[in-house]
Structure 1
């Protein structure tokens, strides 16, 4: 375990050196946050009432929390594991004594920690200054929300790892990764809250792991749902994390056997 902590800390320090990229990311996040807030508030104004249980302030809070989570959960996907499979470097990773997924998870934790602080909190400050944020009524919403954010990062890592591990069997990954990004951004609630969906699409979204990456942590942290409801959402996050971990580990074992058969 100390080795994983060291790896996470090293990744945090590595990303903290990218100051210009961080500043550019903060600016972009903030601008797109303003655009998304404008769109959601215009929709609420046109309807003349709440939509999906959201008031104007709750909708603005939803957007700013989503912008804060965008970088830590890496909503647009990663390419690291898939590229290492494509180039054959994954064979070296599999020979190391540390499990493949554990190493990449430690790196993910370090990366997400920096991105949450460096690129997540500044857009929230913009939100405080521009629109204000809806605060939870219950003090329990804060620890539950933080736990839910941590689980969202874990679930997003595992789902992204599954997409990347499919490179063991797919020659070209870009189409699959693009499809995943589109579906994830829609069904997670990143674009709009899933309670704004038509009933059939909301039902579809809720039987996938995607709401656990965005909708659940935002609802828990903003206090839009009660602590009891947040606990239910956290339970679903834990369930999805367990399922995705089993699938990802099975793919690692199958991929390893595939490399051995091919002489890798």
Structure 2
């Protein structure tokens, strides 16, 4: 799926949240794609973000004046329930609230959060905007890019969200044995909830052929709209049902033909 369409899907879903799932909360949706989605190719947009560091995409929220609080959602999430409770989360004086990263709950000996769902104190972000931008540029080559930069910057400035607000790796790495994940389960029983409020389809859109054919890690981690779909993910079908309700029609990739070709390798 092209980035513009992914973002358009996010906008449609956010409008749904605003009218049907927000309860008493009120939202003004805003799409963060670098401001380069008018007549600029997807490749150019990607090169732009690689050049400045993708952490800057989230810093654009600080420009949403005069709002004090912002809710950031990655474009690969599915909002399934009312988000009033999330919106009204007490930041406890911290800059952001985030859920632990299920794949890497601990990095470099410190708790590590996933940056796909963030509740942000925009006033504090505005005050630190330039510092965060500089760090984003310096860390643009790190493994998880913007997520790494945000974890370094907000290492002592974040409060933990329940995993039900950012359910990651469902049907795949969330169930793999890990001491860090076992500890996370003790702290957050909602990690294995069968009814999460927000599902986050982490992983690549189209996994490499080597990963698909590997017998070591199955099912493969992928997104529903890629050529392989999201095998093993319990909410893949629900994502497609939601996609059918939006104004533009998403064309499925020719998955069966692609898989047949891969089987010949």
Decide which structure has greater strand share: 2
TM-score (norm 1): 0.26
TM-score (norm 2): 0.26
Larger radius of gyration between Structure 1 and Structure 2: 1
Decide which structure has greater helix share: 1
Q: Which has the higher contact order (CA 8 A, sep 6+)?
A: 1
